[in-house]
């Protein structure tokens, strides 16, 4: 779900800064389950080692 979709569903408007942050990819982890994130962190740590 895109940030604009959330705004429409909730009937609100986020500040433009939220959209800038979202468009930069910094909030992409919110689209995944906790398990996916934990696996990603574990895999990234294994790659570093």
**Extended strands (E) in 1-49:** none
Name the 3-class secondary structure at 4: helix
Instruction: Return the pLDDT at 47.
Output: 65
**Burial grade of 31 (CB within 10 A; 0-12, 13-18, 19 or more):** exposed
pLDDT, position 48: 61
What is the pTM assigned to this prediction?
0.54
Of 49 and 38, the one with more pLDDT: 38
List pLDDT tens digits, range 3-47: 899 899 999 999 999 999 888 887 776 777 888 878 888 888 776
pLDDT, residue 49, reads 60
In terms of phi and psi (left: phi > 0; alpha: psi -120 to 50; beta: otherwise), the region of 11 is left
């Amino acid at each position: 779900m895109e940030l604009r979709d959330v705004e429409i569903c909730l009937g609100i408007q986020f500040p433009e800064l939220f959209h800038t942050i979202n468009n930069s990819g910094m909030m992409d982890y919110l689209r995944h389950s906790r398990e996916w994130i934990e696996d990603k962190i574990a895999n990234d740590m294994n790659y570093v080692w």
